[in-house]
Amino acid sequence: MYKQQNSDAANRPRLTVAAVAEMNGRFLFVEERLRNGELVINQPAGHVEHGETLLEAVVRETLEETAWDFRPDFLVGVYLWQHPTTHTSFLRVTFAGGVAGRRENLELDEGIERAIWLTPEELAAQSQRHRSPLVHSALADYLSGERYPMALLKSLLP
């Protein structure tokens, strides 16, 4: 019989989304200042809010972190990752697509220093600054042709 060892909600993976947005061979990333002051690179990403679909979350998070209107076209992958120090687990659903435009006067989320467009080579040259291994994995999967239809997503929210 299955015995649940960590039933506390704090021990469950945190549901997040991320965007892989490409324009002219460059990809949209954010430079984000962590609580410890470290400046890291990440895809536009964040937590899914209560009552929000995965698509709504990735569009919202990308807008809040970059001021770009993201238009997801397909799934790249679903990643389960555990932070090596805090042991917090994250379940990240990563989407790929394009951007429809930038909202010039929109203030970025707290902690986000700026949105940047990088080539895969420029990103690789800064691998020590990646927020997590998810940054490289999502881009590598996208570049290798990982594409899954949005029809895989089923939302049964009211």
pLDDT at residue 30 above 80? Answer: yes
Percent share of the chain, pLDDT over 70:
94
**Which own/partner contact pairs does 153-158 have at CB distance under 8 Å and 24+ positions apart?**
153/53, 153/54, 153/55, 153/75, 155/53, 155/54, 157/51, 157/52, 157/53, 158/51
End-to-end CA distance of the chain: 34
pLDDT in tens, 86-96: 999 999 999 99
Task: Answer yes or no: CATH 3.40.640.10 is held by domain 14-151.
Answer: no
Residues 83 and 132: their CA atoms lie apart, in Å, by 8
Please give the average per-residue pLDDT across 124-133, as a whole number. Answer: 97
Domain range summary for the chain, segments of one domain joined by +: 14-151
Quote the distance between the C-alpha of residue 17 and its chain's center. Answer: 5
pLDDT at residue 116 above 70? Answer: yes
pLDDT at 3: 44
Q: For the whole model, what pTM was predicted?
A: 0.91
pLDDT at 144: 98
